[in-house]
Structure formats: structure tokens, C-alpha cells
Amino acid sequence: MMRFHPDAAAAAILATGLAEAAASVVGRSVVDRLGRVVVDTTPLPVVEQAVRLTGTTDKPLLRATLVAGAAAGAGLVAGLVTQHRHDTRAIMPSPAGAVAAAAGLVAYTAGRRRLDRRRATQDEQRRPVEATEPLPARTDGAETWPHAEPLFTDIEDFYATDVNLRPPLVDRDTWRLQLSAAGRSTELSLDGIRALDLHERDALLICVHNRLGWDRLGHQRWTGLPVADVFTAAGVPFPDDLDGHDLVMEAVDGYRQVMPLPQVVDRQAWVVVGMGGRELPAAHGFPARVLTPGVVGQYNGTKWLQRLTVVPRGSVTATWVDRGWPRQTVVPPPMARIDHPGQVRMPPRPPQGVLDVAADTTFVGTAWAPAHGGVATVELRVDDGPWQPAELAEDLGAWSWRRWRATPGLRPGRHTVAVRCTTHDGTVQSATPRQPFPYGATGHHTLGVRVS
């Protein structure tokens, strides 16, 4: 029978905590580094299920699992080694072991808090970023609509997802963006990029894992300039043969994305250094990232950007393509969402169930179609009835979402309310449910309601 050695588990907790505390002094994390290895080696189906079930708690859960797994592994190994020497049946650590485990947890917590403070300090020191020709403040006429989603997502609420358990902390003074193309190379500092002719754009950022009714997307104002302009300003020209080349975007952590050079130009990929009028937060890629409107986040550009390289077409493979995602660029399908009544957020969450509403309830929501010219119409349907047009806020362009509202008039009883959108290029939102892998989720967002 396998024995468990609780004091060995306590020693493992102590060692982990001390290692974490020591690494945090230089802004690093042993547990987060191990977590990155786990993410990079876990089979893709397991990753997909973890995203679906855990949502925003995936990284804290992985950290806790790693620490608990280290303790359990040490206890089992020690038990296996000692079971032939004496029959230990202890399930609780000795007083010394308990003290060691407690000290390890204290050290681990102290290390995590030190890292959190460093990240918070960096975000608090975000400097204003000014564009050469700033965009005016924008409104769409839905500012007074009750329960409407904000036109611009609060940065604190803006979703962030990546393969790191914690955003890399990059030093602004030593960071350089390396540029290579056509046999020429150079580098730019953050101040050097900020001194260029920066512009602003309002655009959505959408995760490929965004499902019906989720909020794994956000709308913000970004400051930067086209990738091609960065190369030109740095004296590194693009090759004349765009069709024969790719752009490789590499992050400080080794993550890389690849986009055909014609798409970089046609889709207007930008090097971005500002979000909401200030420098990028750590979670969103400080000091620089690439952002390509109308492309899902997994393909549209790299955060914590370190290197941009033009290479022969097909010679470099992107990180997630190596893991089984399509090589071709993925764009988000058209989608409409009911924001009220009900709650829009990511799991983990209890089932929303049937909501009690009034007969004259006004349904409010958002719709987006950045890869299809934007949203032209939004329609609401009650049960199997006809599709009814919703009132639309002003159209701010293909890259922005469009707010809508509708009061369908509900009879007493239970109903299913569905929403769909049609795009400016004539594409009708698909009614067929589809999982996010590999081309994004589809289907109609529906809500169960009951009128007394």
C-alpha cells in the first residue's frame, strides 16, 4: 500500500514558498514559469476544456494545482522511499512540519504580493500617449439608454488572456523593438516610437474563445501607427514582393505570431503603444503590441512585443499553429449579444436559468462584425415568431461594436428570446451552434424569460 509522508509535503511547500519569494525580488516567479511549461505542453483539447469551464479563474487554479501537486508528489515519493523502513500511517505533519508548511505559505504569499505590487506600480505610472491628430470624443446616441454596455470598455474590465500566468514586467528604459527586413536591421526605443507620427483608432479586440453571451471582448481607443510606417521610419523598408513574405511578431517571452505581409498591409496591422490615452497596461502588452482590427486576438498581434521580422512565406510557424490551430488568419464571425436583462460574463458562474421580466421589458445589447464591414441590422425573435428589427445606435465603423435595443412586447408565460445581426456585406449571423475551435463560436445568443 502506498504511504504518504506529510512532513515531506510540508518541506516541499516550504521550498516552493522560499523559491517564489526569492524569485519575486527580481520580478520573476518560479510557479508562473512552471505554469507556462504546463500550458505549452498540455494537449490542445484539454486547454480548450479548461478555457470553457474555468474562464477567468484558469490561472489562479493552475497555480494552486502546481503548489498542491508539488506537495502531494513529495509526500508520495517520500512515503514510497520510507515504507520499507517503518510503517508510517501519519496523515498529518509533525509540529515541525506544520511550522514548515505555514512558513512556506507565508513566503509564497509574500512573493506573490511583491509581484502584484510591482505590476500595480507599473500600471499606476502609465504615462499619457499623445497622437499627432487625436480623434474627437465619440458618441453613438445610446449614452442615455438604461443598461447599455459602455461604448468604451473600462480598462479594468477589459478581458486579457495569454499563455503567461502573469504578464512579463518589461523595463521601459532597456526595452528595444528590433526590426529586420530585406537584409537590414535596426531597433527603436519606446521613446523613439512615441516620437513618431502616432494616430488613434477605435477598435474591438475579440478572443477566439468568446462564446455566446460571454464578454471575452472589449472596445477601446488605441494609439499607434501602421507596421509598415514603423519599418519605414526606422529605415528598414518592406520588400517589394509582399506576396512572398510573412511578418513574424515575437514577444519578450518567446511567443510568436505570423501574418502574411499582404494582410499586414491590407488589414492595417498597427504597432500600438497606447490604450485609452495612456501607455499600455502590463496585462495588455506594455510597452508595445501589434493589433490588427477584424482578426481574433490569437492571430491579430503579439503583446510585449520585442521583434518584428520579415521572412520568406511559410518559413516560420506561429506558436498556436504549432499546437494545432489553422495556419490561415482567423476572423471573428458576426455576433449579437443580449446584455440586459441577465448577466454577461465569463465562467465560472451558475446557470442563469429563466429570468422573471415585465411584459414591456426593453432588451439591450451589442453586436459586432469587424471582418464583414460592420453591423447593418439587428433583429430580435420571441420563441418561433418573426424576426423584429431592433433600434440601432449610430454606426461608428466596422471596427467598433454597435449598440441596440428592442421592446418586443411579451405575453404572460415563458419565452425564449434570440438575437441576430446582419452585416454591411450581407452576411447573416449563423444560427448553427459551433464551438470556438478553430474558427470561432457561432449560433444565436438566447435568453429564457418568464412574464407573470
Q: C-alpha grid cell for residue 260?
A: 502574411
pTM for this structure? Answer: 0.90
Torsion angle in degrees (nearest 10) through CA of 59, 63, 64, 70: 150
Strands 305-312 and 335-340: unpaired
Phi-psi region of 408 (alpha: psi -120 to 50; beta: other; left: phi over 0): alpha
CA separation for the pair 239, 96 (Å, rounded): 67
CA separation for the pair 293, 186 (Å, rounded): 27
pLDDT tens, residue by residue, 385-403:
999 999 999 999 999 999 9
Phi-psi region of 373 (alpha: psi -120 to 50; beta: other; left: phi over 0): left
Neighbours of 139 (CB within 10 A): 11
pLDDT of residue 304: 97
Q: C-alpha grid cell for residue 365?
A: 445589447
Instruction: Confirm if 274 and 223 have CB atoms less than 8 A apart.
Output: yes
Question: What's the per-residue H, E or C state across 250-272?
Answer: EECCCCEEEEEHHHHHHCCCEEE
pLDDT of residue 2: 57
CA separation for the pair 211, 379 (Å, rounded): 19
Q: What parts of the chain have a pLDDT lower than 70?
A: 1-2, 78, 81-92, 349
The DSSP-derived string for 385-438 is S--EEPEEPPP--TTS-EEEEE-----SEEEEEEEEEEETTSPBPP-S-B-STT
pLDDT of residue 100: 85
pLDDT of residue 11: 84
Neighbours of 32 (CB within 10 A): 21
pLDDT of residue 83: 59
For residue 450, give the H/E element and its range: strand 445-451
- 256 forms bridges with which residues in the sheet? 250
- 18-to-8, 107, 112, 158, 188 alpha-carbon distances in Å: 15, 6, 11, 33, 38
Instruction: List CB contacts of 212: < 8 A, sequence separation 6 or more.
Output: 335, 337, 433, 441, 443, 444, 445, 446
CA separation for the pair 17, 100 (Å, rounded): 10
For residue 312, give the H/E element and its range: strand 305-312
pLDDT of residue 91: 62
Q: Which residues of 255-271 are buried (b: 16+ CB within 10 A; e: fewer)?
A: bbbbbbbebbeebbbbb
